[in-house]
Structure 1
Amino acid sequence: MFYYRQLILINFFLVYLSASSQHSGHLKPFGSSGPFEQIDKLTNDFPDPILFFENYAFKSHPVLFRQVLANDLYLSLWNKDKKLKKLFLNNKEIVHVETRKKESRKQNILTMTMTDFLKRYQSEELYLVEEVPKLVRPYFTLPKCLQCEPAIETFQVAMLWFSSGNTSSVVHTDDYDNINCVLQGEKQFILIDPHTYKHVASQIIDNPSGSFSSIDVDRVNYDKYSSLDNDIHYYQVNLTRGDCLFIPALWIHQVRSSDRNIAVNYWLNHARVKNAVINQNTCELLKQSNLMTLDTITWPKELSNLEGLQDFMFDLIDEGATSFKDWTREFSKDLNFDLHSNTGIITLFAEFFNMIDTNENGFIAVNELELLLDDNNNMTAAFEILQDIVNLIEIKSGKDVQSNNQNIDEILSGDETEKDDDINLKHEDL
């Protein structure tokens, strides 16, 4: 009898082992077991815009810029909180602060001044994620690989990331191209090429409305995410103070930080990157300067009508508004007109919706929007249909279309971006 029970336990154990993943990374941190690809590395300075766009941005290829900020004029500002507390002492600008260092898309977001944040972040689980505050924009030099007119036109916004360390992000993708620079501490990036491993992106990004994964980044379950098999190669990139990393749009990645950690990332509008004309005729390379700081250029860039429409549609998917009924309701709200109240208008809107809903299942997903954006002709045609809808609404409302018709960008984009206030700071105060 005892021998029989032993056999049952052995068989149960063998069945358990056969059902459980044998991947070396099972229940370990995301990407920690490799295997790894080697990333391109450039040292000491950014490449000029022509080389950067031709070799990396246009090709959707990541690159590590090692110690490109080592001689930056303002890097020492971030060495100690004492300087920052002095700088922000009387500043009332509000910043947004996450309340979990292990990222959750459902966490509470606090608002406070930088002074309050600097008092609290070392003793609380706080992570500042905010556009670079206006007060310190004079101390951020635009990367030289963006310093020519058509390259600057791709720059959308700069974000500041600030914590006491030990943060970890979800596995996710971004619609923007990204240059991430570490000002203090260390960061580790794990990247997967979505072009080589398309099946991975389609499985693990299981929250497509927010372009992120439900994977526990500390204990990856390879039974649940079977596409992360032994054939998947990762890029593991470790950054320290003065390093920058270019992450192309839509690349799968996960980020960890250690120690007191401060970074800035420069978002580039991916559509503008793809369409940028960067060559010796358009880029005056001799005009590159350490003095081209964020306060000297206009940002965020004003979106075109098409870009405004793109952002609005992605926002709808982020909010879960994916069905025809949902989209009709949301567009009715923003156009201030019930689309169902007019047969011609709702018919046009159905044509607009069906142009995006390529699999004809009555729902719009992120990948369908991305297909639309990759086809300039279809995107333009969709925009023109929506413009026709706006014109009909104006006529139905008894307004003069020529004099009163707002463009779609104005209707859908909300409040206009405020212009930066003038900043009068003395660099010697640092």
Structure 2
Amino acid sequence: MPGSTSLLLGCLLAAFTWAGARADGERFGSAGRKVSVQTVESWPENSVDFLTEFVVGSKPLVFKGAARNSPAFSLWTDEYMLGFEESEYFEVTVENGKKENRTRAAVGMSLQQFIEQYRSGDLYLVNSVPDFLRKDVLLPPPLQCLELNGILLETIMWFSSGGTKSVVHYDAVDNINCVFSGSKEVVFIDPVKYADKIDIDHPEGNYCGVDVDSVNYTRYPGFQDVEYHHAFIEAGDCFFIPYKWVHQVRSYDRNIAVNIWWSHHATVKQDLTKCENTVSRDLADREKMLDQFQFNGLDSLSGEIDLIREVVTDLVKYRGITNKEGFYNVFGREHAEILSCQDGVRKIFSKLFDYVDENGDGVTDAAELSALPTEKWKNVQSVFNEFEEYLKEQDIQMMDDLTDDDMYVDDEAFESAPNVRELFLEDETFEGAPDVRDEL
């Protein structure tokens, strides 16, 4: 029968597929059930439907062709970006290594320097969208609703020559990512349905240490038994990553994308019915570009009690972090060791733990946390704020303690040791000393 083969193939592709016991060594997303992420054409006509069904309802979605509505889709060539005088001195953050490694320090360079190097280097730009380029990107229409003013957090540019591979991770925000050049492959896992299967073994950074190119199912057995939602994103498409959905992203070819992060908990609290008629696709509508909106920064999340409650509860419930030492290890140890202030950080997290250990028995659990009154969670929030301020003070103190001898490097010896030079340049200690970095 004509067309029967394609019909059968379509049915097979649409169906769930099961995998049995897997051998180690295959790439992430190969096991378990596979299902395609739902797709719509461009932006939805009714923003309320998207916000309620997908944002509040927590489901990923692909918007085919939606990124074509931004001038960036046709404008953002290397030559266009280099045409801005600001590209010569606007500093961007660049990751060394297209396969993400969160223990590796990032480096800073000008946008011009990055563009001159990225096609031949193992480099990946991850930085806030430069101010002079924000006028080229349309804020996704569902986020243009006045009711959502004040909850936009950050807009990030992702730029490489392709071949990047993210770690398996989740974001504690909602996220729309628009691809202007190249393509991406995204794999999602539902964090609620498979909470007992997902091993986020780096809770301090919301990521898993699994090798995305060669999964060790002996170490991470749960990844054999989850449902994987797959999406292939082409240039001109956008996609929605729901709050806390675990995902892994690969990019291909010259690749430029921009994502918008916004607060999930604040969205849920809004009267979303007021967003009924907020759709703008007019490229001439300058009022709808990114430069016309305020982004409050991820630091503003520290004021969200609901988020703090959820993060702490998840650590206790799913990671078994139930005592003072565990809280210190997750939240404070890395910072404390870098800044040599272990005693001070331990004292801070001892105070924090006392607030969540209501009965004072030295351990806490999910039931105890769920019974904590809001006032106690406000106390926890204040301790996290205290921790941030303490780290800033310790960082300043470390810089003040550096002597001239500490800062002196013999020029001849320095030039003969390029690896040492790179270490100096990568060291975050020098972020607060631009003159020193320039000299290096």
TM-score (norm 1): 0.70
Distance in 2 between the 1:209 and 1:325 partners?
5
1:94 to 74, 91, 96: 91
Matches within 5 A, 1:239-318: 239-280=233-274, 285=278, 290-291=285-286, 292-300=288-296, 303=300, 306-307=303-304
1:361–1:193: structure 2 CA closer, same or farther, 3 Å change rule?
A: farther
Shift of the alpha carbon at 1:299?
1.5
1:174-222 residue CA offsets vs partner (Å, 9 max, x unmatched): 1111111111001000111111111122xx2111111111111101111
1:147 is aligned to 2:152:
no
Q: What is the percent sequence identity of the aligned residues?
A: 30
Distance in 2 between the 1:226 and 1:304 partners?
33
8 A Cα contact 1:187 1:257, kept in partner: yes
Distance in 2 between the 1:36 and 1:84 partners?
39
Distance in 1 between the 2:159 and 2:144 partners?
26
From the CA coordinates, give the structure whose radius of gyration is larger: 1
Shift of the alpha carbon at 1:44?
2.4
1:43 to 36, 41, 44: 41
Give the match for residue 205 of structure 2: 210
One-letter amino acid of the structure 2 residue matched with residue 285 of structure 1 = T
1:356 is aligned to 2:356:
yes
SS in 2 for 1:272: helix
1:193 is aligned to 2:190:
yes
Distance in 1 between the 2:330 and 2:140 partners?
44
1:325–1:212: structure 2 CA closer, same or farther, 3 Å change rule?
A: closer
1:34–1:182: structure 2 CA closer, same or farther, 3 Å change rule?
A: farther
1:233 is aligned to 2:238:
no
Higher helix share: 2
SS in 2 for 1:279: helix
SS in 2 for 1:195: coil
SS in 2 for 1:159: strand
One-letter amino acid of the structure 2 residue matched with residue 272 of structure 1 = A
Distance in 1 between the 2:217 and 2:330 partners?
37
Distance in 1 between the 2:222 and 2:381 partners?
39
8 A Cα contact 2:188 2:228, kept in partner: yes
SS in 2 for 1:167: coil
Distance in 2 between the 1:359 and 1:67 partners?
55
Structure 2: tracts of 5 or more residues without a match: 1-18, 316-324, 337-342, 394-440
8 A Cα contact 1:169 1:254, kept in partner: yes
Distance in 2 between the 1:276 and 1:61 partners?
19
1:275-315 residue CA offsets vs partner (Å, 9 max, x unmatched): 222113x655377864311111111258387339978x989
2:57 to 52, 56, 59: 59
1:322 is aligned to 2:316:
no
8 A Cα contact 2:71 2:137, kept in partner: no
8 A Cα contact 1:102 1:169, kept in partner: yes
Give the match for residue 72 of structure 1: 70
Give the match for residue 101 of structure 2: 104
1:106–1:149: structure 2 CA closer, same or farther, 3 Å change rule?
A: same
Matches within 5 A, 1:25-40: 26-40=24-38
One-letter amino acid of the structure 2 residue matched with residue 53 of structure 1 = L
Distance in 1 between the 2:108 and 2:326 partners?
27
The count of corresponding residues between Structure 1 and Structure 2 is 353
Distance in 2 between the 1:206 and 1:410 partners?
23
Q: Which moved more, 1:261-270 or 1:87-96?
A: 87-96
1:47-67 residue CA offsets vs partner (Å, 9 max, x unmatched): 443112111100111111111
Structure 1: tracts of 5 or more residues without a match: 1-20, 332-337, 341-345, 391-406, 416-430
1:112-136 residue CA offsets vs partner (Å, 9 max, x unmatched): 1101111011111110000111111
Give the match for residue 124 of structure 1: 121
SS in 2 for 1:76: helix
1:380–1:130: structure 2 CA closer, same or farther, 3 Å change rule?
A: farther
1:128–1:308: structure 2 CA closer, same or farther, 3 Å change rule?
A: farther
Distance in 2 between the 1:146 and 1:52 partners?
10
* Root mean square deviation of aligned Cα: 4.2
1:287–1:133: structure 2 CA closer, same or farther, 3 Å change rule?
A: closer
Shift of the alpha carbon at 1:86?
1.3
Distance in 2 between the 1:255 and 1:136 partners?
24
